[in-house]
Each structure stands twice: as C-alpha cells, then as structure tokens.
Structure 1
Amino acid sequence: MKNSLKPNKRVVGTIAVLGVLALTVTGCTRTATDGGAGAGTGADETAAPSPGITDTTLSLGISSPLSGPTAGPGSCSVAGLDSYLEAQNAAGGFEFGDGKTREVTLTYLDDTYDPAKTVSNFKQLVGDGIFAYVGALGTPTNAAIMPIANSEEVPQVLLVTGATAFSEDQKANPWTFGLLPTYYDEANTFGKLLADAGKPITVAVLSQNDDFGKDYVAGLTDAIEGSDVTIVDSATYEPTDTTLDSQVTQLAASKADVLMSAVSVTPLQVGVLTKAQSIGWLPRIFLPSNTSTPGTILEPGGATAYPAVYSTSLTKVPASPTFAEDEDVKAYNAAFAEYGSKIAAVYTPHCAWSYAEGAILGEAFKGMEEPTRDSFMTALKSIKDFQAPLLLDGITVDTTRDDQPAISGLTLVQASGPGYAPAKAY
C-alpha cells in the first residue's frame, strides 16, 4: 500500500488485496443480451470482462471522510476493510467462482463528508477504471452518488450507513445496497424498550435533518404507538453545524425523561452530552451505534453522569476482555495492527463493520462465475445465513431480501464501566 497527500488534502491510498472485492466503477462491457444488474449471459455466450478486472487483478474504490469532524468513523470504514483484504491477500488471495484467484486494489479518497466532494471523487474513481464502489460511509454522501451509480450501472454496495433509502427499494436502485441495520430498526429497538416499561415516559428527540433523522423518528414513533411513552419535543441539526448547544437547551426545557440523540458526527455528539450536564439536565440517553464508542464518545462526553446510556451493537468489540480469546477477534487484531492502524488511529465500530464487510465480499466472489459486474451483483444478492467474522452470535448476513440491508440483527446494550453490557429493562 502507498499513500500520498496532495495540496488539496485529498488522500489517495492504493491497497493491494486479493480478489476480495470483485466490483468495478466504470461502465460495464456486456454482450448484446446482457440485461443489467444481476443478469447473466446465455449458455453459448462468453461474457466480456467489466472494466477493473483481469484474470489476476480487481480494482475497487471508496470515498470517505479521512479528515474533518467525521474522520474517525470515515477512516475506520476504510481501515477495517483494508485489514481484511490485505490479510487475505497475504494468505494467498481470494478464489472466484470462475476458478481464478485475483489480487484486489482499493483506492480511497478523502471527501471530508462533503457530498459535492464525494461526487467528484466518485467520478474520478470511475474514470480511473475501478470495478466497484464499496463500503462508503455516510447518508448524504451516498445519496449524492446513488443516482449516478445506478445510471452508469456501477455497483455501490455494502454502504456503511443505516438509511433505509439504500435498501428499501432495490428494484428501483439495483446497483445500490446497504450493509448495516437500518436507523429505523435501531430506533424501533429503543422504542420497544421504553414501551415495554409499561409506565409514562417522556422523550425528547435530536436528529439530523435528512433521511438519517427521519428514519430514527419513524422507528421510535412506530414502536411507542399505543404505549404510555410520549415524544414531548424534538429538534434537528445539520452535519455542518459546529455546535448543538441551542438544540440541547431547547430540549432540556421539556424536562424529558429520555433523550434520543441521533447525532452522527462525533464532536457534536460529545457536545450534546457535555451541554446537557452543564445545564443540569440528566435524562436517560439513547445513542446510535455509529456515535457510541466509549473512547471517543462516552469518556469525553462524561456519560457516567447519566442514569443510563443505551446503544445497539452487532459486532464483537475487539478490545473487550470478553472476546480476548475469540479466534475472529485475534485475526482482526493482528490484521488491523499490521494494516489498518496506518489508516485509522482510533477505533470506532466502523472498523469492525467494514472488516466483516470484507468477508461478505469474499463470499460473493466465490459465487461470481464471470468477470462482470452483473455476475458480482447476482452473487452478492445470493448470500444467506452467512456468519461473517466479528458478528455477534445470532446475527448473520442475508442479502436475498429486496427491502433490507445485508445485516439486520441488533443487540440492545447499556454502558457499563469502560464498555457496554446487555441492556437491562428500563
């Protein structure tokens, strides 16, 4: 791998990895009867390779916030995937369904979580001839790319975002596919915990002013319908905001028992926790899984001041003593120390999520019978009951559903000491 820093602060990393990522981002060369995403070729036809793949190599691309306030999650979204791919590459590479073993390269560009930069980066990657665009972080950034990717028939898959927009209508957007449980499901899980308490509870909601926030509000609202739980106030924010003090002050006036802080930007989430404390408001807190890391959120936010802090989880925590002897965790820690640590200095759950993503791609490559995007998409959408490394027991990968992301299982957890434990009843 080699990195270079250009004057415009765009970071480009080229990562040699074996056939784990059979995806491409330039136009697909197909036979006359090739019918689009998931379509195969006739028995007597020979499929022409898509751009970005040869008999021995495959090229992938990703745009992610490697600098700015979302750099922690953005860097982890690259680092975890790189760790898996590089480790597999060093072990001999990935076998594809066409009988070949390929080396895969991953090029990553910095977009600072700016949709305009993401579009520019995507076009650059397409122009450079990648096979597919994989594992990108962010709701607004991926939303900006989705119409382009589907128009140009470029796989935009296993996205590190829980927005329902990327998975709920895959027939309309056949080249786009999410990785993570939806924000709707995450908030719905929170809401069920509150509803099951069987007593009056008031809730204040802080959410992003986009699909991320709308999904959260909808999931919570549906879960508490008919219960004694009431949303008494709500506020929204923009990812470009530098502080959410005014929103927290507004919500604190409601004296709500619970604050669902669906904030996706790390420093803003820390600011929410510290501001509420400073004005004497100490509700129970619900945090989304993407901004709930102990080291980057709970500790700097002084989370121990609150009666309880809840979140959700789908992967093992590599640093947790509970999983110290787990073989998947051992493999992750070794791979990350050698490869991923060069990209991400601080762990967030995105490191584990994207590591599991690498294994899902590897599983798809095993079913990829032709060197084309169509064959890749068909194989990717045929995975069922796959236990990807680091996923918690009982959580598996199922890509066969047209309205759900690759992973949909969640575990509700509660902050305990330096980490999280299974959540107790409210």
Structure 2
Amino acid sequence: MNTRSLLVFAVAAGVTIGSHQAFAQKQYGPGASDTEIKIGNILPYSGPASAYAIVGKIAAGYVKMINEKGGINGRKINWISYDDAYSPPKTVEQARKLVESDEVLFLYQTLGVPPNLAIMKYMNQKKVPQLMLATGGTKFGEDPKSFPWTMPFNASYQSEGRVYAKWILKEHPNAKIAVLVVNDEYGKDIYKGVKDGLGDKTSMIVAEATYDFNDPTIDSQIVKLKASGADLVLNLSQPKFAAMAIRKMGELDWKPVHILNNVSSSVGAVIKPAGFNYAQGIISAGYYKDPTDPAWKDDSGVKECEQFLQKYAPDADRNSNLVTYSYAALQTLQYILEQAGDNLTRENIMKVSENLNGFAPSTLLPGITLKTSPTDHFPIEQMQLMTFEGNNWVTFGPIIEGKLSN
C-alpha cells in the first residue's frame, strides 16, 4: 500500500471510528454518571405494614452484592430507601425528596396501593419512572397511556380476585361466602376482582366485614362473619390482620374453607404468628417460589437465593416468601440496568421496562415470565393455586392466566 493509500485509509478509518464513538456516546439522566446510578425506594419500615420491611433488607443486600462485584457496567448503585410508615402523606414527602433533592434516576419497588396512588400523578408529571411497584394495584398498570411512567411488579389484584372466584365457582358452587377485607384502595381492588369473577353469582356472598389499619383488633369482625353461617371465608387482609383472623378463627373452632390473599401468604410474617395448627388447608395463589416448600429444596434458583442470604442478609427470615419475591424483583432491576447499557436516561429505562420479552427471574414459579409492552404494563399476569400443609405451601393445578381481558 502506497503513502497516499495509507492516508486515505487512515482518514476513512478515523471517520468510521469517530462515527462509532458518536453512536455509542453515553447518555445520562439525573442520578446517573460514569460511576453511579441513584435509585430511590420507599417502604414501611415502621407502622402497621412494617412486616414488609424485609423487602428493603433484601434490596439493600442485593445492591451491596452487585456493587461488590463491580456494579452494573462499571457503575455502582446508590440505593436510597426511606420510611413512609405506610402513610400516603409521608410517601408524598419522601418521593419529593428523592426526586427533587436526591435527584434519583427512578423509583423502584415502592410499596402499597395507597402510598403509590398518592405519588402517581406527581411521578408522571415529573416524568420519573415509578417502576416495578411492590403492589398489584390494578390502577398502576391498566392505563399506560395516561400514566406511562408507572409500572407494577406484582400480579394484578383484580386478576388474583378473579382467580379465587373461578376456583370457588368450580369447586364450591353452593358456598356461602364471608369476606374480610381491609377498608382501603387495596381491599377495594382485589374485592372488585372477586365480584367480577363471581359475575351473577355475587349473591353467594352472605356477609362482609371491613377493618381499618388503625384498628387494634378484628375479633368482632370474625365473630360477625362466623354468625352469618358462611362456610367459605375470603380473607383479603394485610399481614398483621390476616394473622389475627387466622388465629381468631382457630380459637373459635370455626373451620370454613379459607382463602387467603397472596400479600398475606408469608409463612414467617403471617402463618407462624397465627399458629401452624390453625392454618392447615388454607388456599392461596402465588407466582414465586416458597423457600419453605420442600419441593424447591434442590432448585437452583432457591439455592442461589439462599447463598445470597447467607452473605448479604443473614438475619432475614427464611420462612418468609417475601425473600424469594424480593430476590426476583431485584434480579429484574439488575436486568433492566444491564439492558439499558450506557443510555441511562429516564426515557430509556422506561423503554427497556416496556420490553421485557419473557425475562424469567430464578425465584418465580416455573412457567411464569415477565412480559411487557408500551400498552401492557403488567409484567406478571400468571398465578398458581397453593394450599398450606404442615409447615409450608404446596402448589397444585396449572399455571393460571389472569389477564384483565380474560
């Protein structure tokens, strides 16, 4: 090759390299840099929903693990988590602090229906991703056109309610149903799913009892439901109150068919405090592996989670299925950040989150995968029924599709 040819080659190569560099140029939104990714989180570390604080413990441990391994694409995660005590006004305060003062790239795994409803409009006005919420509130995924920056992680509560209704109609078509339900947006959401699922059979519901988060006890509600003559109970309660209900029913020696909602299916936070003897035969629905179930003893995903716990969250309650739930949620966070690469803008984080084409966290039940699109903000729309036997949950039946369109 002569001198002129070398010069032409060098110039051409330079143009090519320069174009490639321009194409691969790093892009950052607030909270992102060459060395750091700031992510915000709000959880009830105190108050009536503090049983969920374990979600934060697992998240902090997982982030520490990632950072010790070098971070994501060379960037360390700065996980900033605040307590809202499950109080919506406090959630608003903490969200503003995270967005306007801490300047996080996005919020992840903020917990609960009322708290997330309180900040949803604000987050969308600010165009800050409100991602993989630790709630299955139907409102958070049903209208992505109006709220494009919001996406839940959990299966939709209305879908879960319909799953129970379908099972009742099939297995107990003549049941007399009593419903215990929390008096908040979560309770209304899942109960709507039940009623929609029952359709013209809502007359099967013979009694209802509600409670508020500040109620010291729900004994009177359980006594009322028992007096109704119901032979099937839908326990649509938060963990603390679900445990109270299970124990009170046991003390009254009332043994109807008992369906317990997924958010209160934790062995450590609900079943154990209520009493294993009172929980036998309870039915629920899930989508992540129960670490207490012997069926998963040799499962690679559960083993991997246990190894993580031993090093990064050694005092986490091994009886809580919130452990495997949280592990799956944090695997999803890692996946989203890895897919985003060097384009760490809020817009791209949302784009990646809207294109989860079958990603399968290792602690979700086999066959359950995450699928999203710009018009479908429900990553998980499948569940499986399970019954409590001995000291753990045992799954039964097929994976059930719970799409809202079904």
> What range is the shorter-chain TM-score in?
0.7 to 0.9
TM-score where L is the length of structure 1: 0.82
Q: What is the Cα deviation at residue 187 of structure 1?
A: 1.6
| Equivalent residue number for residue 68 of structure 2 | 90
Q: Distance in 2 between matches of 1:79 and 1:389?
A: 19
Q: How does 1:25-424 map to 2 (within 5 A)?
A: 49-73=28-52, 75-95=53-73, 101-126=74-99, 127-197=101-171, 199-226=173-200, 230-264=204-238, 266-302=239-275, 304-305=277-278, 308-341=281-314, 344-345=316-317, 347-368=319-340, 370-400=343-373, 402-423=375-396
Counterpart of 1:55, as a letter, is: D
TM-score where L is the length of structure 2: 0.85
Contact 1:192 1:224 in 2 (8 A): yes
Q: What is the Cα deviation at residue 44 of structure 1?
A: 8.8
Deviations 1:119-160 (A, max 9, x none): 111122221121111011111111111111111111111001
Counterpart of 2:370, as a letter, is: V
Q: What is the Cα deviation at residue 294 of structure 1?
A: 2.2
Deviating more after overlay: 113-122 vs 170-179 = 113-122
Deviating more after overlay: 309-318 vs 401-410 = 401-410
Q: Relative to structure 1, is the Cα distance of residues 389 and 337 closer, same or farther in structure 2, using a 3 angstrom cutoff?
A: same
Q: What is the Cα deviation at residue 46 of structure 1?
A: 7.2
| SS in structure 2 at match of 1:77 | helix
Contact 1:79 1:351 in 2 (8 A): no
Q: What is the Cα deviation at residue 300 of structure 1?
A: 2.6
Deviations 1:300-341 (A, max 9, x none): 323534673011111112343322222222221122222234
Unaligned ranges ≥5, structure 2:
1-21, 399-406
Structure with greater helix percent:
2
| Equivalent residue number for residue 7 of structure 2 | none
Q: What is the Cα deviation at residue 216 of structure 1?
A: 1.8
Q: Distance in 1 between matches of 2:312 and 2:105?
A: 22
RMSD of aligned C-alpha atoms?
2.4
| SS in structure 2 at match of 1:129 | coil
Q: Relative to structure 1, is the Cα distance of residues 125 and 307 closer, same or farther in structure 2, using a 3 angstrom cutoff?
A: closer
Q: Distance in 1 between matches of 2:61 and 2:334?
A: 13
Q: Which has the larger radius of gyration?
A: 2
| SS in structure 2 at match of 1:206 | strand
Q: Relative to structure 1, is the Cα distance of residues 155 and 220 closer, same or farther in structure 2, using a 3 angstrom cutoff?
A: same
Q: Distance in 2 between matches of 1:360 and 1:318?
A: 19
Q: Distance in 1 between matches of 2:181 and 2:202?
A: 22
Counterpart of 2:41, as a letter, is: I
Unaligned ranges ≥5, structure 1:
1-42, 96-100
| SS in structure 2 at match of 1:143 | helix
Between 1 and 2, higher relative CO (CA 8 Å, sep ≥ 6) is seen in: 1
Q: Distance in 1 between matches of 2:397 and 2:36?
A: 49
Q: Distance in 2 between matches of 1:198 and 1:229?
A: 14
Q: Relative to structure 1, is the Cα distance of residues 225 and 51 closer, same or farther in structure 2, using a 3 angstrom cutoff?
A: same
| SS in structure 2 at match of 1:191 | helix
Contact 2:155 2:378 in 1 (8 A): yes
| Equivalent residue number for residue 402 of structure 2 | none
Q: Distance in 2 between matches of 1:385 and 1:169?
A: 22
Contact 2:291 2:319 in 1 (8 A): no
Contact 1:72 1:348 in 2 (8 A): no
Q: Distance in 2 between matches of 1:358 and 1:84?
A: 7
Deviations 1:4-31 (A, max 9, x none): xxxxxxxxxxxxxxxxxxxxxxxxxxxx
Counterpart of 1:89, as a letter, is: N
Q: Distance in 1 between matches of 2:268 and 2:346?
A: 39
Q: Distance in 1 between matches of 2:279 and 2:304?
A: 35
Contact 1:309 1:415 in 2 (8 A): yes
Q: Percent identity?
A: 29
| Equivalent residue number for residue 8 of structure 1 | none
Contact 2:195 2:202 in 1 (8 A): no
Counterpart of 2:33, as a letter, is: T
Contact 2:279 2:388 in 1 (8 A): no
Q: What is the Cα deviation at residue 94 of structure 1?
A: 2.0
